[in-house]
Amino acid sequence: MSEWWTYSLSDFLMFSGRSYYRLIESYNAAIWPAHLLALVAGVIVIGASALPRQNLQRSAALVLAAAWGWVAWAYHLERYAEINTAAPYFAAAFAVQALLLCWRAYRPGNAVPAPQRMALGLTGLAIFAYPMLALARDNGEWRQAEVFGIAPDPTVIATLGVLLAWRAPAIFWLIPVLWCLVSGATLMELKIGHAWLLPALAFISSLASIINRKTPRDLNSTANPRS
Amino acid sequence: MPLTSPSRRHLLASMIATSGGLALSPLLAAAPPAPLLTRPIPSSGEQLPLIGLGSWITFNVGRDPQGRRESVDVMRQFFAGGGRLVDSSPMYGSAQDVIGEAVQTLKPARLFSADKVWVSGGARGVAQVEASRKLWRVPRFDLLQVHNLLSWDEHLPILLAMKREGRLRYVGITTSEGRRHAEIEKIMASQPIDFVQISYNALDRDVEQRILPLARERKIGVIVNRPFRQGDLTQALAGKPLPGWAADIGCTTWAQALLKFIVSHPAVTCAIPATSSVAHVRENLLAGTGRMPDEALRKRIAQDVERLA
């Protein structure tokens, strides 16, 4: 391949929007009612971005790790790989992020974050609003809803929110931000109306993270707040 | 290359055979279909219908049962309408397996199986071809092409050896969207290939300058991919009224006019539009029938498409 510059995004898109959303529909049908469990897990994640409690942060990190691991296996490897030859690589990246989040859960000296409106907004958007986008799409229906912990996009958005609340270092941001770009590009080629959303959220949240990291931590953000 | 009309009797027999003797679609049942025109493969003289069937994106439906049923229906209609050449690649996700399911279900009598090898290294190519053949559920491929020239210098000798041994009927190379034409020309001039697959349509006509004349000179068949620029062209022309010349060549849609422009070029053996719609297959097949535009009208079609798209 000596002429990479001649390739456009559309050259790498190998499935139609119809096939893509039908895959999500059949995936949802196959694992229902796991969505209810995912919703409960989502509430823990929202709690972590709203309440500065150490145990909640650990639980959220483990929930997110489980979500990333599940999406790597059940979505990317088991299903998305049927229509996208790049899916096994996505699965590997998601598995790495799951390990990072596990490590974050048990790393000693984690700071407890101060509540942040943007973090709360991102996790809330991911868990409650993102599934509704299925109804906003042309020919979309609720059976094709993308749910936190089940589908990659809302899982990644919720993770951005928690990373923002944690003031997490750059290493935690790398894979989520890359996924936002990949998914945004895919949806753009599929001519999906909300294709801009993931890249925009990645940009805004990482910018907010950089600004946060340059400002002094809130008094609540100490390594050991109860001592 | 001259166009040939198969006899209606043969065409109807093939339609009945491929449809399993069941009821034909209302459109086909209403009136005897116009015969699908054919053109000889330059290296052998074997006649091939002007309209083939691509599978990029459209047949990559994974395990979705509804998507698979629809793909089988598309192929059923294609064969019933006299189509033969189906093209795929290991690059197209689940498309090969979906085609294999249709082949197993429909048992088409006159399938012309065209696949590709798309992997670095000749040895891996052999394994890939065998894996593809199993997915297609065919005893052997009619045509194998080196996809996008990937490791072509390693794959071509192997494919040509397979042809000599009778394990393959034709050998080709492919490119798309105007890439690596200089290399394509070199291979066409130096290698004993039977087919070259390129992108060509009323807007992308670079190949008219060198590749299509060279194909005629070297007796190489030409398969045309992306005839509608992956749908962008038909979308751009949607809603624009067809010019008066369309009726003269029996076209009722832009898609037919675009296809007739392509297959009326004397160097083109067939075009391979991909679709997941049975209605579009019928529409596409009709473009391979009836009167074809002459050189003057082809120029006019290109001008009108350029102006309107």
**pLDDT tens-place values along chain A, 227 residues long:** 455 666 677 777 899 999 999 999 999 999 999 999 999 999 989 988 787 777 788 899 999 999 999 999 999 999 999 999 999 999 999 999 999 999 998 876 666 666 678 889 999 999 999 999 998 887 778 999 999 999 999 999 999 999 998 889 999 999 999 999 999 999 999 989 999 999 999 999 999 998 887 776 544 444 444 33
A94 Cβ contact list (under 8 Å, min separation 6): A68, A69, A71, A72, A76, A152, A175, A179
Model pLDDT, residue B19: 40
Are B169 and B143 a contacting pair, CB within 8 Å? yes
**B61:A26 CB<8 A:** no
Provide mean pLDDT across the span B247-251: 93
Distance from CA of B136 to the nearest CA of A (A): 16
**CB pair distance less than 8 Å for A85 and B93:** yes
Nearest CA in chain A to B61: A19
Q: Which residues of A touch B61 (CB under 8 A)?
A: 15, 19, 22, 83
Measure A110 CA to nearest chain B CA, in Å: 43
| pLDDT value of position A140 | 78
Q: What percent of chain B has pLDDT over 90?
A: 84
- CB contact, 8 Å: A16 with chain B? yes
Q: What is the mean pLDDT of residues B248-273?
A: 96
Q: How many CB atoms lie within 10 A of CB B258?
A: 26
User: How many Cα atoms sit within 13 Å of A55 on the Cβ side?
Assistant: 1
Contact between B94 and A22 using a beta-carbon 8 Å cutoff: no
**CA A201 – CA B213 distance, rounded (Å):** 52
Minimal Cα–Cα distance from A13 to chain B, Å? Answer: 8
Residue type, A60: A
Substitution target from B58, B61, B177 for chain A, most A beta carbons within 10 A: B61
CB contact under 8 A, A79 and B230: no
pLDDT of residue A137: 81
pLDDT at B230: 86
SS3 of chain B: the string is: CCCECCCHHHHHHHHHHHCCCCCCCHHHHHCCCCCCCEEECCCCCCEEECECEECCCCCCCCCCHHHHHHHHHHHHHHHHCCCCEEECCHHHCCHHHHHHHHHHHHCCCCCEEEEEECCCCHHHHHHHHHHHHHHHCCCCEEEEEEHHHCCHHHHHHHHHHHHHCCCEEEEEEECCCCCCHHHHHHHHHHCCCCEEEEECCCCCCHHHCCHHHHHHHCCCEEEEECCCCCCHHHHHHCCCCCCCHHHHCCCCCHHHHHHHHHHCCCCCCEECCECCCHHHHHHHHHCCCCCCCCHHHHHHHHHHHHHHC
Q: Nearest Cα to B187, choosing from B196, B178, B179?
A: B196
pLDDT band at B87 (very low <50, low <70, confident <90, very high): very high
Residue B294: Cβ-neighbour burial (10 angstroms; 0-12, 13-18, 19+): exposed
Mean of pLDDT values over B122-142 = 95
Interface test with A, best of B177, B181, B233, B275 (most A CBs within 10 A): B177
Q: If contacts are CB pairs under 8 Å, which of residues 20-39 in chain A contact chain B?
A: 22-23, 26
B257 versus A7: the higher-pLDDT residue is B257
Give residues 172 to 191 of B whose Cβ lies within 8 Å of A: 176-180
Contacts of A6 in chain B (CB under 8 A): 177-179
Contacts of A139 in chain B (CB under 8 A): none
- Count of all residues that appear for chain B in the document: 309
To the nearest whole angstrom, how far is the Cα of A83 from the nearest Cα of chain B? 5
pLDDT recorded at residue B2: 65
- Output the CA angle B5-B11-B14, nearest 5 degrees: 145
Tell me how close the Cα of B126 comes to any Cα of chain A, in angstroms.
20
Supply the Cα-derived Rg of chain A in whole angstroms. 18
- Residues from chain B that touch A18, judged by Cβ atoms under 8 A, are 67, 276
Asked whether the beta carbons of A146 and A38 are under 8 A apart, the reply is no
**Nearest-CA distance B6 → chain A (Å):** 35
Reply yes or no on whether the pLDDT at B229 is more than 70: yes
Alpha carbon separation from B277 to A72, A161, B280 (Å, rounded): 33, 42, 5
Minimal Cα distance from A23: which residue of B? Answer: B64
User: With contacts defined as CB-CB under 8 Å, which chain A residues touch B58?
Assistant: 16
CA-based nearest distance B146→chain A, Å: 13
- A83 near B CB under 8 A: yes
For residue B63, give the chain A residue with the closest CA: A82
Measured in angstroms, the CA of B8 and the nearest CA of chain A are apart by: 36
Chain B, 59 to 118: residues with Cβ < 8 Å from chain A are 60-64, 66-67, 91-94
Q: What is the pLDDT of residue A227?
A: 32
Residue of A nearest to B151 (CA): A1
Interface contact flag, B148 A82, Cβ < 8 Å: no
Q: What is the pLDDT of residue B157?
A: 97
Q: Token pair of B148, please?
A: 């996008």
